Amino acid sequence: MFEPLTWALVALSLAAMVFAIVLAVLDKRINWTLLAILAVVEVGLLAQLVIGIVQLAGTDRDVSGVFFVGYLIGGLIVLPLGALWALAESSRWGAGALAFACLVIPVVEQRLHVIWTT
For 69-78, how does the pLDDT look when each residue is reduced to its tens digit (9 = 90+)?
999 999 999 9
> Domain total for the chain?
1
Predicted pLDDT at 118 = 81
Give me the domain span that covers residue 29: 3-117
Predicted pLDDT at 72 = 96
Predicted pLDDT at 83 = 95
61, pLDDT greater than 80: yes
Over residues 5-18, the mean pLDDT reads 97
What mean pLDDT, rounded, does the chain reach?
94
In three state form, how does the secondary structure of the chain look?
Answer: CCHHHHHHHHHHHHHHHHHHHHHHHCCCCCCHHHHHHHHHHHHHHHHHHHHHHHHHHCCCCCCCHHHHHHHHHHHHHHHHHHHHHHHHCCCHHHHHHHHHHHHHHHHHHHHHHHHHHC
